[in-house]
Structure 1
Amino acid sequence: MIHTVADLLLGIIKNELPKLDSAPVKHAPTIGDMYEGLSSEVLNHALPDGLGLRIVSGFACDDRGALSGQLDCMIVRGDGEKLPYVNSYVWHVKDIIAVVEVKKTLHGAELRDAIAQLNTVSAIERFYYQSDMRQSEYDNRSVTPSIRTFAEMTGNIAWDGEKFVPLSHEEGALLGALLLEQLSSVRVALGMHGFKSERAFRAAMVSYLEEVVGKVGSGPTDFPQLIISGSYSLAKANGRPFMIPLIDGWWPFYFSTPENPLRILLEFIWTRLDEMYGFGSQLWGEDLETEVARTLLSVRATCHEGREGWEVRIHEANNEDLAKAPTTEKWSPQFINLEEFILLDRLCRGKEVYSSDPELLSFLAAHGVSFDEITDRLVQTRLVARSGEGLRLIAKECHLAILPTGEYVAAENSTGRLTRWIQHRVNDSRY
C-alpha cells in the first residue's frame, strides 16, 4: 500500500507543480501560499481516515507560552487555539505529530532557513519533554519503541523489565536522543525543487554543519528527521522507521537516498501513527524491499572537561560512488544455524538463556560452540540483546521457520513480512 500511495502523491505533485511554476503572480507571500497549499493537499491524501487528524498552519507552543516560528504545515490531533481573523492556529507540541516547512526551492540559504524554522519547534519540545512535565507524557505514550531501538543499535538492553540499567555516558546520551526522537514531532523540510545531484545535496548539508557545529542546537536531535530537495532526501536513522546499528561506537544517524521522497515521507509519518494508534500490517503492503542507507553523518557522544557534546564524522562520497551504490535491496530474514535456532526458540517460548546454565553450556560444548560465540551471532540478528549474563528477546514478534531446503530462518514478523517472504520463496521454488 505504501508504494501505491507514494506513487499517487508523486503523481499529484508532478501534475500540479508545473501549474504553480508557471503562475504569473510574482508576489512572494502568495507564491509561498500556493506551494504550502499543494503540500497540505498532498499530506491530506497521506493521512489514514478515522483518526481525527488535521493539517493546519500556525505556531507550536508549550505550557510556558513559548511559541515557535510560523509553521507552514502541522499534522495535529486534539484541539488548538484559532487566532482571530486568520486561518492560523496555536497548537501544543504534545499534540503535534509532524511539522513540514515548505520551500519552492531548497538550496543553501533556503536549507538553512528551513532548518532554523524547524529548530524553533525542537527547542520547545526539548524543554517540554526533558522537564518535569515529560512524566505525564511518558505515562501516556509507551517508550518501548525507543528501548527496542537502543537494543537493536547497541546489542545491549537499557531496561530490565522494572528499571533502567546503568549505562555509560555514550549509551545514556544515545538513549536520551532516541527517547526525544520518539516523543517529539516528525520535522520535515520539503523543497519542491532542489539540488540536481545527490552529491551536491550532501555537500550543502556538510557546509551547513560546518557553520553550526559546536553551537547550541547542533546535536543529532536538532536535525530534521527528513529533508527533501526535489528528487533527493536526507533522512535520520533514529529507528522510526530507519535503524542502523552502531559501528565502533559511532551512530550513523544521517543518510541520503534518491528513492521516491514521498515514500520516505510516508515511512516517517506512518511509523509515528502506527506507534501511536497501532495499524498492524495493512499500511505497509508486502514490505519486501528496503532502502540502502548512504551514510552522510555519524555521531558519538563525548564528555570533555565536564562539557558534554557530540563528535561528528563526515562520510564523503563522489558522484561515481553514489552511482554505483544500490538504492534498495531485497529484504531477507536472518539465516541461522541449529544452535541459534534452538536458543531463539527457547527465548520465544518465554524461557531464560543464561551463561551460567550448565545444561545449556553442555549442549553448546557438544556442538563445538561457546556461549560468547553464539551470543555474538544472535545479537547480530537484532532480535535479541545482551542482558547481564544472559540474552533477552527484543523483537515484538520473533518467528522462526525451517524452510523446505532444511535451512533455519528467523525474523521480526509483527507485520507479516516473514510470512510473505516465505510464501514468495515457496512459490518461486515451484518453477
Structure 2
Amino acid sequence: MIRKASELLERFIEVERSKLQGFNMPHMPTLGSAYEEITKQGIYQDFAIPKSLDLRVVSGFICVGGVMLFEQIDCMLVHGEGERYGLTGQFKYDIEKVLCIFEVKKTLRKADYVDAMEHLANIRRKFADNFEERLINEGYEPDITNARRRFSQLTGKVAPERYLDIHHLSSADGMLFYVLVQESLAPITIIHGYEGYKTEKGLRTVFSDILEEAWKSGDRRLGIPSIPTLVTSNNFCLVKGNGIPFLVMLNKDEWVPVFSTRHNSAKLILELVWSKIGTYFKAKMPWDDGLHMDSVQPLLVAKAGEINGVGGWIYNTKEFKEKHMEREDDNLWSPSVIGKAEVSAIDIMAMRGGYLLLDGDMNEYLTRMHGVTVDQVADVLIQTRLFMVDGEYIKPIHPQTFLITNEDESGFVAYEVERFDLWCAENSVPAHYMCIYLVGDE
C-alpha cells in the first residue's frame, strides 16, 4: 500500500503546488497558510489515513499535563475529538492524543529551520517532563515493547522488562534505552518544506551547522530527542533512525540516528505516519512495499559512552560531496546470510526452546565441528540484529525467526516472513523454513 499511496500523495501535492504558484499572494503568512492547507488535505486522503481509527488533521495547540503550550501548531494528526479554541477553527489536544506534529514551510531556509527545530524541541522537552511527572506521581507504566526490541537490535543485549528497571543498566545503556522509549511514545515531528535546498548536501550541511553552532554556544538542548523525526526540502529528506520504522547501524556498534534520502519526500512522510499509527494503536498496518528498501546516506553517527560511570553521547557527522551521494532508489531487502556454524547453533537453539547456552560444552562442540568459538558464533548472530544475549544464553529478538538451510549447510535468516517469501521467489530459493517461536513474546 505505502508505495502506491506515496505516489498518489506526491502527485496531489505537485498539482496543488502548481496551482498556488500561479497566484501573486501579497505577503508570506497567506502563502504559508495556503501551503499548510495542501499538507492537511494531502494527509487526510483515504489512501493515507484509515478513517475508521478516528484520526483527524487539525491546526491548533497542544496541552501537556493540563497546560496549553503557547506554540501554535500548523498541522497535527490527532486521535478523537479535541476542544475548539474559542470561536476559531483551531483545536486544543492533549499530547497523548497527538500522533504527528507538522511545521509547514513554503521555502525552507536556515532561519526557518532553526525556528522550527526550537519550536518542536520545546514540545518534546515538555513531553519528557510530563513523562517523568507521570512516572513519579501517577504510577505510570509506559509501553516499552518497541523500545525493548530496538535496544536489543542496537546492543545485542536483552532490554529491561519494565521501564523502571532502566536503573539496572549501565549509564551508557540507560541513556540509549531512555532515548528509544521517548522516541517510541512521543509524537513524531516533521518539518515539511515544499521548496528550499536544491541538493542533498545542502540540507545535510545546514543541519550539521545548526548542531555545531548550538554546541559552540553552550546550548545542549538539541539532543537526539529534540531532533525532528523528518525534515523535507524538495525531495531531499533528513530522517531520524529512531526505530519507527527505520533503524540504521554503521559498522559494529555505531547507531545512525539521522540519515538522508533523496528520492521521494511524500513517501517518507507516509511511511513515518503509517508507522506511528501502527505503534499508537498497537495494530499491524498493511505495507505491501515488496522488497524495496529506502536508499539512505548516514549523516549523524552516535555511540553511547561512559567515563567514570557517567554516560554521554559521542557524535560525529559524515560528510560527502554531492556527486558521491547520487544514487538510484533501487535498494532491495534480503535476509541475513550466515555460515554453517551459525546454522548449527540456531538448530540447537530451536531444539532447546529458543535458548542457546553459551557455555564450555557449546564452545567445545563448535570448535570441534566448525573451527570457531562460541563467542565468535554469538557475535555473528548478534550482528544480524536478530539475536540478543540474555544472561548465559543467546536467543532471538523477535517472536518469530525464520531460517532456511542451504544444501551446503550455510543459511539465510530473517523475521519478516512476507518479505522472505518474496525474496525466495525472486531468487529461486525454496521457501522451506525452520521457525523459532518464542511463546509469550509480543
Asked if these proteins are the same fold (TM beyond 0.5), I'd say: yes
Counterparts of 2:406 and 2:137 in 1: how far apart (Å)? Answer: 46
Q: SS at the partner of 2:25?
A: coil
CA-CA distance at 1:406 after TM superposition: 6.5
Paired residues of 2:339 and 2:411 also in contact (CA < 8 A): yes
Counterparts of 2:274 and 2:11 in 1: how far apart (Å)? Answer: 19
- Give deviations 1:235-270, integer Å, cap 9, x for gaps: 011111111236565432111110211111112111
Hey, what does 2:265 align to over in structure 1?
A: 261
- Give deviations 1:202-238, integer Å, cap 9, x for gaps: 1111121122124142101100010001110000111
For 2:149, the aligned partner's letter is R
Structure 1 residues 27 and 161: alpha-carbon distance in aligned structure 2, compared to 1, 3 A threshold: closer
Counterparts of 1:248 and 1:179 in 2: how far apart (Å)? Answer: 22
Counterparts of 1:307 and 1:169 in 2: how far apart (Å)? Answer: 6
Instruction: Count how many residue pairs are aligned between Structure 1 and Structure 2.
Output: 425
Hey, what does 2:243 align to over in structure 1?
A: 239
Hey, what does 1:121 align to over in structure 2?
A: 123
Counterparts of 1:396 and 1:351 in 2: how far apart (Å)? Answer: 10
For 2:69, the aligned partner's letter is L
Hey, what does 1:220 align to over in structure 2?
A: 224
Q: SS at the partner of 1:56?
A: strand
Q: SS at the partner of 1:227?
A: strand
Counterparts of 2:188 and 2:350 in 1: how far apart (Å)? Answer: 33
Q: SS at the partner of 2:127?
A: helix
Q: 1:131 aligns with which of 116, 130, 133?
A: 133
Counterparts of 2:116 and 2:61 in 1: how far apart (Å)? Answer: 15
Q: SS at the partner of 1:50?
A: helix
CA-CA distance at 1:145 after TM superposition: 1.1
Q: 1:314 aligns with which of 312, 317, 321?
A: 317
Paired residues of 1:292 and 1:329 also in contact (CA < 8 A): yes
For 1:296, the aligned partner's letter is L
Hey, what does 1:17 align to over in structure 2?
A: 17
For 2:14, the aligned partner's letter is K
Hey, what does 1:34 align to over in structure 2?
A: 34
- Give deviations 1:140-176, integer Å, cap 9, x for gaps: x631111111111112222369955832222111111
Hey, what does 2:279 align to over in structure 1?
A: 275
Counterparts of 2:310 and 2:188 in 1: how far apart (Å)? Answer: 28
Hey, what does 2:198 align to over in structure 1?
A: 196
Paired residues of 1:220 and 1:253 also in contact (CA < 8 A): yes
Hey, what does 1:389 align to over in structure 2?
A: 392
Q: Identity across aligned pairs (percent)?
A: 28
Paired residues of 1:339 and 1:364 also in contact (CA < 8 A): no
**After the TM superposition, which residues 1-400 of structure 1 pair with which residues of structure 2 at under 5 Å, given as runs?**
1-45=1-45, 46-133=48-135, 139=141, 142-159=143-160, 166-213=168-215, 214-245=218-249, 247=251, 250-280=254-284, 283-301=286-304, 310-323=313-326, 327-348=329-350, 350-356=353-359, 358=361, 361-362=364-365, 364-400=367-403
- Give deviations 1:361-381, integer Å, cap 9, x for gaps: 435533322111110111111
CA-CA distance at 1:279 after TM superposition: 4.4
CA-CA distance at 1:426 after TM superposition: 2.4
For 1:143, the aligned partner's letter is I
Paired residues of 2:240 and 2:258 also in contact (CA < 8 A): yes
Counterparts of 1:161 and 1:340 in 2: how far apart (Å)? Answer: 31
Q: SS at the partner of 2:428?
A: helix
Counterparts of 2:232 and 2:254 in 1: how far apart (Å)? Answer: 25
Structure 1 residues 328 and 389: alpha-carbon distance in aligned structure 2, compared to 1, 3 A threshold: farther
Structure 2: runs of 5 or more not aligned: 432-442
CA-CA distance at 1:295 after TM superposition: 1.2
CA-CA distance at 1:109 after TM superposition: 1.2
Q: TM-score, normalised by structure 2?
A: 0.88
Structure 1: runs of 5 or more not aligned: none
Aligned CA RMSD, in angstroms, stands at 2.8
For 1:121, the aligned partner's letter is I
Q: TM-score, normalised by structure 1?
A: 0.90
Q: SS at the partner of 2:427?
A: helix
CA-CA distance at 1:137 after TM superposition: 9.3
